[in-house]
Structure 1
Amino acid sequence: MNELKKSILVSLWFMFLTFPIMVIRVNTIEKTVLWRWENMAWIGIGSFVLSFVWRWAIRRKEAGDAVAASGEKKTGKLAEMANNPALTNTFRALFLVIFLVTPWLVTTYQTNILISFLLYVVLGLGLNIIVGVAGLLFLGHAAFYAIGAYSYALLNQYFGLGFWVALPLGGVIAALAGIALAFPVLRLRGDYLAIVTLGFGEIVRLVLENWSDLTGGPSGISNIPRPGLFDATLSVADANIYIYYIVLALAIITIIAVTRLKDSRIGRALQALREDEIACEAMGIDRVGVKVMAFGLGTAWAGFAGVIFAAKTTFINPASFTFFESAIILSIVVLGGMGSNLGVILGSAFLVLLPEYLRAFSEYRMILFATAMVLMMVFRPQGLIPAKGRSYTVDDPELNAADGGRI
């Protein structure tokens, strides 16, 4: 009953605040006043429902936090399904088949959207190595995306290199740039590291914008060739489908590589660096080598994605690689769940696919997006799919009796 009273008071307060805007409409031409009382009714009903639902959700969240703090573990149906290998493998195969046949069932426009989605998956997974696995706050990922794109464009323009030669070279050049950035920032962490990487991203963009003799400046580089399929002449639609399968293959390779990396010795060292840098070094892990490796591995995937982006658009300029791109990629990682591959895929779908399919609600799209972000940060700050920790069992009877055998 107390919650109902609070929700009623909230609705009355909102009705009072929005009364001049939502109810009164003055026609200055005819000098008349139109009273829109139905708007006040909708404001009252909407604010009452939202207030009640919000309080209910907060109570559920507090109850869940209390259960988590008490050490009790609750496994829901989704968790049980995720732990079933046969079921998860079936879903993976099903999604793979869907993605393989989709380009032949949709329009060229839809194929382009899916290419952008897969590119952001690759970018997000690459940044996830640095931010999610290694725990380094990185705000300049778009710079390495640009390095990969311009590597292909310039190598083709000045040396005549094709797409398949430029693809690995773009990743290597971006990785070398990431390693070069890693050495000056080895002692930095947190906000200081974020500021330096943000500055590096802006430096790269300004160099591309002002070195007109090499990069074309603000005019960019055009007529970048698409990847060839032997000697076949492809139409624009066929070329898009071909690029779609290339980026799909790259996304699958990236998912497998990042998953294997997290479970490897290098991945364990990166996760130890994330948890406690001082303890990590005290345990004999080479902090310098691990940080350099994180920067090199994470930025390499941005280089690969940049090469494909240049081949897809056939035109690039510095305006395509602003800080907004870095912010979107970082949002994908944080929203999906830092350290979680599936979370990055869902985050990419939320931030890339959903805005495209909500163009019918273009006036309210950003409001819906901002509301969803606020709700995520309040109710699931760990992301859509948080990374799972691992537990290990030992055969010591004393430890088994004391802690259930888990370390």
Structure 2
Amino acid sequence: MTNAKTAPAPSNPPADAPHGVGDAIRTWWAGLSRPAQWGFGVPAVLVLAILPLFKLPLLDTPGTSFGGVMAQFAMYALIAIGLNVVVGQAGLLDLGYVGFYAVGAYTVGLLTSPNSPWNQTGGWLGTKWAWLLCVPIAILATSISGLILGTPTLRLRGDYLAIVTLGFGEIVRLLADNLPDITNGSLGLSRIQYPHLGESDKHPGGYFSSGNLGDQHSWNLLDRANSGTWWYWLGIVLVVIVLLFVGNLERSRVGRAWVAIREDEDAAEIMGVPTFKFKLWAFMIGAGIGGLSGALYAGQVQFINPTGFNVINSMLFLCAVVLGGQGNKLGVIVGAFLIVYLPNRLMSVNVGGQSLGDYKYLFFGLTLVVLMIFRPQGLFPARQKLLAYGRQVYRAVRRPAAAAQTTGAGQ
């Protein structure tokens, strides 16, 4: 009796195999246990924290303060994480996220600036800690604005929702520009409060004051850090806190509902997921994180006006999320770093009498076109562990069945 021979199955690589540097890093990180992730993450954060204290030739930005650049990066990282909740996790296209950013900044400015009729500094807001007390108020105000905007508009989908959110961002900017009795109009709000920490004869305004230029010749790291570095350190702390909060949400029932809505909202609705409620949660949480970043911005620059909250900035925020990888928290942080760092790094490079940093919109536009062609999921695409485990289970079940069929055919 002739034994039947079966053709060998084609050896296709698993669907979750790494296809690039970003995928390799993601796969390596996902394979670590939680204590191992903390073991690698904490030293990495400490190394990132001391970077602005030393002028490294490859990383330094000759055209501007590297500490100030890193402070801006921390602020953009918060924005990217908040926008990633809305766009990357829940799949809601928000083109007016700068509106929440503006609400957070103006909340702090209206409560602490002498140019505002609502200034409460010196009253129930103590001068030294006025900014810190305004941060939770800014988060609450932007979350409420997310609730007000999301309740009537989250019934819309796709392009319609994008247009509505874009209009919201422009409405906030125009209100700030056309209410001179409250917002001081185009003149803006100045002398906004900031944390008065470390006030002394050497630092009259404290560590966070714009007058703190740092002492590069000091061996004391606290004296070596300028105001931008201090804002960067504060931003890192806030980023870690927000990452822990958002990460726990993603691993909960809320995160699974967001993924279901992002993949197919109709199917999620049929399966019993209250899609409107979870979309509204995503909108409010993303808005609150945007308000936190706006409060950080207002305290750092101590001056705000409507021109800082235009639609171009909203596109840059979305670019950071798309570039880093929608749905990947660490990926969007990398995207925020590239958005902030590269223009400042190229600012000192002149070609034909023009700084390359001025062409940042051209460069980012070309980068997005190339990225959409060759890597549409971003530099660090998000992969759902549940789907990866499902493929592993499928292969594990299929192999014994295929082996049994081969054995039966050979008998």
Q: TM-score range by the shorter chain?
A: 0.7 to 0.9
Q: Report the CA distance between 1:75 and its aligned residue.
A: 4.0
What does residue 216 of structure 2 align with? none
Give yes or no for the alignment of 1:390 onto 2:358.
no
What does residue 96 of structure 1 align with? 45
Residue 120 (structure 2) aligned to one of 159, 173, 179: 159
Q: Report the CA distance between 1:299 and its aligned residue.
A: 0.5
What does residue 147 of structure 2 align with? 179
Q: Report the CA distance between 1:373 and its aligned residue.
A: 2.5
Between the aligned partners of 1:209 and 1:74, the Cα distance in structure 2 is: 51
Residue 311 (structure 2) aligned to one of 304, 323, 331: 323
Between the aligned partners of 1:330 and 1:122, the Cα distance in structure 2 is: 13
Residue 193 (structure 2) aligned to one of 209, 225, 228: 225
Q: Report the CA distance between 1:358 and its aligned residue.
A: 1.4
The percent of aligned pairs where both chains have the same amino acid is: 35
Contact 2:69 2:228 in 1 (8 A): no
Counterpart of 1:391 in 2: which secondary structure?
helix
Give yes or no for the alignment of 1:352 onto 2:328.
no
Deviations 1:263-291 (A, max 9, x none): 11111111111111122122222222111
Counterpart of 1:159 in 2: which secondary structure?
coil
Alignment of 1:303-318 (within 5 A): 303-318=291-306
What does residue 331 of structure 2 align with? 343
Instruction: Specify whether residues 301 and 404 from structure 1 end up closer, same or farther in structure 2 by C-alpha distance, changes over 3 A only.
Output: farther
Residue 266 (structure 1) aligned to one of 254, 259, 270: 254
What does residue 222 of structure 2 align with? none
Instruction: Specify whether residues 373 and 165 from structure 1 end up closer, same or farther in structure 2 by C-alpha distance, changes over 3 A only.
Output: same
Alignment of 1:194-343 (within 5 A): 194-229=162-197, 232=200, 233=204, 234=206, 235-237=211-213, 238-343=226-331
Q: Report the CA distance between 1:402 and its aligned residue.
A: 4.4
Q: Report the CA distance between 1:197 and its aligned residue.
A: 0.4
Residue 114 (structure 1) aligned to one of 52, 59, 70: 70
Between the aligned partners of 1:403 and 1:385, the Cα distance in structure 2 is: 31
Q: Report the CA distance between 1:89 and its aligned residue.
A: 4.6
Structure 2's unaligned 5+ residue stretches are 1-10, 114-118, 214-225, 402-411
Which one-letter code corresponds to 1:313 in the other structure? V
Q: Report the CA distance between 1:98 and its aligned residue.
A: 1.6
What does residue 63 of structure 1 align with? none
My pick for the range that moved more, 224-233 or 348-357, is: 224-233
Q: Report the CA distance between 1:388 and its aligned residue.
A: 1.1
Alignment of 1:59-78 (within 5 A): 74-75=17-18, 78=24
Between the aligned partners of 1:272 and 1:403, the Cα distance in structure 2 is: 29
Between the aligned partners of 2:365 and 2:170, the Cα distance in structure 1 is: 26
Structure holding more helix per residue: 1
Instruction: Specify whether residues 270 and 368 from structure 1 end up closer, same or farther in structure 2 by C-alpha distance, changes over 3 A only.
Output: closer
Residue 123 (structure 1) aligned to one of 60, 64, 79: 79
Higher RCO, Cα 8 Å, sep 6+: 2
Alignment of 1:22-101 (within 5 A): 74-75=17-18, 78=24, 81-85=28-32, 89=38, 91-101=40-50
Q: Report the CA distance between 1:231 and its aligned residue.
A: 5.5
Which one-letter code corresponds to 1:85 in the other structure? L
Counterpart of 1:181 in 2: which secondary structure?
helix
Structure 1's unaligned 5+ residue stretches are 1-66
Q: Which 4+ residue blocks in structure 1 deviate beyond 6 angstroms? A: none
Which one-letter code corresponds to 2:176 in the other structure? L
Contact 1:81 1:88 in 2 (8 A): no
Between the aligned partners of 2:267 and 2:94, the Cα distance in structure 1 is: 22
Counterpart of 2:190 in 1: which secondary structure?
coil
What does residue 191 of structure 1 align with? 159
Contact 2:155 2:276 in 1 (8 A): no
Between the aligned partners of 1:372 and 1:401, the Cα distance in structure 2 is: 42
Instruction: Specify whether residues 381 and 251 from structure 1 end up closer, same or farther in structure 2 by C-alpha distance, changes over 3 A only.
Output: same
Between the aligned partners of 1:117 and 1:146, the Cα distance in structure 2 is: 17
Between the aligned partners of 1:322 and 1:403, the Cα distance in structure 2 is: 56
Between the aligned partners of 1:295 and 1:369, the Cα distance in structure 2 is: 26
Contact 1:227 1:243 in 2 (8 A): no
Contact 1:226 1:239 in 2 (8 A): no
Contact 2:86 2:282 in 1 (8 A): yes
RMSD between aligned residues: 2.8
Instruction: Specify whether residues 294 and 226 from structure 1 end up closer, same or farther in structure 2 by C-alpha distance, changes over 3 A only.
Output: same
